[in-house]
């Protein structure tokens, strides 16, 4: 389980996390929602030790993430993370991408790493794409590849940071479906998302962050249907506007003059 206790963090003079306390139980899917800049990504990065903290403590299975005596590289293998932007190596095939960490980090032989990689590619529905370069995959397939890469280290926890935000709307479903599959298999997950429908249908609990604090936390039923805090109500009204969230353009639009 992941325990976050009174965590504070600033970037220079800017306080970003102002005393966050949260517990994520084994097998739980916790969603983090909140406006841009509320500290969601920073919190994920603190959980896996990519960012330092100034106060409080985070424990993963009882090990303190930010304790100097903790071997962060060992701990980090327990925590798979997937980001909004696809981060596959463009010159490596799908199989090579997934096999990379098992080979380099877990020191498996090429053959062993490929067996692991095949298993996880099949798991996310990319079993027929092993020899394909990432550029030949759709955005949704690339995100599933990113999930397979994280799974290849056999993590106990998966952290997702707006993994569908850069996708064309028609590609969102397949990625959410993959996440639901992991949840059904018992994976413990922290999911930052703007997809309120996903929160409603899939989360065990949802935390609404505002200005670096947990403003409200509870079941989707409690937080989405009966928000107690005015800031939560305001946020949800905005998120639920039919034109929002605006689908982002997946690639920069090049203007031809
Ligand atoms: P969210 O993911 O909820 O949009 P973030 O955690 O990315 O929020 O950011 C929270 C605040 O911290 C924002 O004001 C952002 O500008 C600031 N911030 C995030 N990362 C950095 C950084 N590396 N250096 C300085 N400021 C940062
Ligand atoms: Mg973010």
Mean pLDDT, rounded, of the chain: 93
For residue range 86-99, list pLDDT tens digits in order. 889 999 999 999 99
Mean pLDDT of 70-99: 94
- The preferred substitution site among 12, 14, 36, 37 for testing ligand 1, maximizing ligand atoms within 8 Å of CB, is 37
Q: Is 105's pLDDT higher than 70?
A: yes
Nearest alpha carbon, ligand 1 atom 16 = 37
Between 249 and 7, whose confidence is greater? 7
Q: Is 100's pLDDT higher than 90?
A: yes
Based on the structure, what is the number of domains in the chain? 1
Mean pLDDT of 69-98: 94
Note the ligand closest to the C-alpha atom of 207.
1
Q: For strand 79-82 and strand 157-161, is the pairing parallel, antiparallel, or unpaired?
A: parallel
Domain at 138, CATH number: 3.40.50.300
The answer to whether 198 and 167 are in contact (CB under 8 A) is no
Mean pLDDT of 19-28: 97
Tell the residue number behind the tokens 């599933």, with chain if given: 144
Q: Which domain holds residue 50?
A: 2-238
Would residue 244 count as lying in a domain? no
Would residue 159 count as lying in a domain? yes
Nearest alpha carbon, ligand 1 atom 7 = 41
Q: Is 251's pLDDT higher than 50?
A: no
Could you give the dihedral angle defined by the CA atoms of residues 83, 84, 90 and 94, in that order, rounded to the nearest 10 degrees? 70
Note the ligand closest to the C-alpha atom of 85.
2
Q: Which long-range contacts (CB under 8 A, 24 or more apart) does 73-77 make?
A: 73/105, 75/48, 75/49, 76/48, 76/49, 77/105, 77/106, 77/153, 77/154, 77/155
Would residue 249 count as lying in a domain? no
Between 193 and 250, whose confidence is greater? 193
Would residue 246 count as lying in a domain? no
Would residue 69 count as lying in a domain? yes
Mean pLDDT of 212-222: 97
- The preferred substitution site among 16, 38, 53, 162 for testing ligand 1, maximizing ligand atoms within 8 Å of CB, is 16
The answer to whether 49 and 72 are in contact (CB under 8 A) is yes
Query: Which pTM value belongs to this model?
Result: 0.92
Q: Is 248's pLDDT higher than 90?
A: no
Find the 16 Cα to ligand 1 centroid distance in Å.
7
pLDDT of residue 245: 52
pLDDT of residue 239: 86
For residue range 128-175, list pLDDT tens digits in order. 999 999 999 999 999 999 999 999 999 999 999 999 999 999 999 999
Would residue 97 count as lying in a domain? yes
221 burial level (CB within 10 Å; 0-12, 13-18, 19+): exposed
Residues with CB under 6 A from ligand 1: 11, 14, 16, 34, 36-42
- Ranges assigned E (strand) in the chain: 2-11, 14-24, 29-33, 55-60, 63-64, 79-82, 157-161, 188-192, 205-210, 213-218
Would residue 251 count as lying in a domain? no
Ligand 1, residue 212: give the atom nearest the CA: 10
């Amino acid at each position: 389980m992941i325990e976050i206790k009174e965590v504070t963090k600033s970037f220079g003079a800017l306080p970003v996390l102002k005393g966050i306390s949260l517990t994520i139980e084994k097998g739980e899917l916790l969603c983090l929602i909140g406006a841009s800049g509320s500290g969601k990504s920073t919190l994920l990065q603190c959980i896996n030790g990519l960012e330092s903290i100034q106060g409080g403590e985070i424990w993963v299975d009882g090990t303190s993430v930010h304790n100097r005596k903790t071997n962060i590289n060992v701990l980090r293998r327990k925590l798979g993370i997937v980001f909004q932007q696809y981060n596959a190596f463009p010159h490596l095939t799908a199989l090579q991408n997934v096999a990379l960490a098992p080979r380099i980090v877990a020191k498996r032989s090429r053959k062993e790493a490929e067996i692991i990689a095949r298993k996880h590619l099949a798991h996310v529905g990319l079993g027929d794409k092993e020899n394909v370069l990432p550029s030949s995959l759709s955005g949704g397939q690339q995100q599933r590849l990113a999930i397979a890469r994280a799974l290849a280290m056999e993590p106990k926890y998966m952290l997702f940071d707006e993994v569908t935000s850069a996708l064309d709307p028609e590609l969102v479903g397949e990625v959410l479906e993959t996440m639901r599959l992991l949840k059904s298999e018992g994976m413990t997950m922290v999911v930052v998302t703007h997809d309120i429908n996903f929160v409603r249908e899939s989360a065990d609990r949802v935390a609404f962050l505002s200005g670096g604090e947990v403003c409200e936390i509870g079941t989707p039923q409690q937080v989405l249907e009966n928000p107690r805090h005015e800031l939560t109500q305001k946020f949800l009204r905005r998120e639920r506007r039919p034109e929002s969230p605006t689908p982002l353009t997946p690639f920069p639009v090049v203007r031809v003059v």
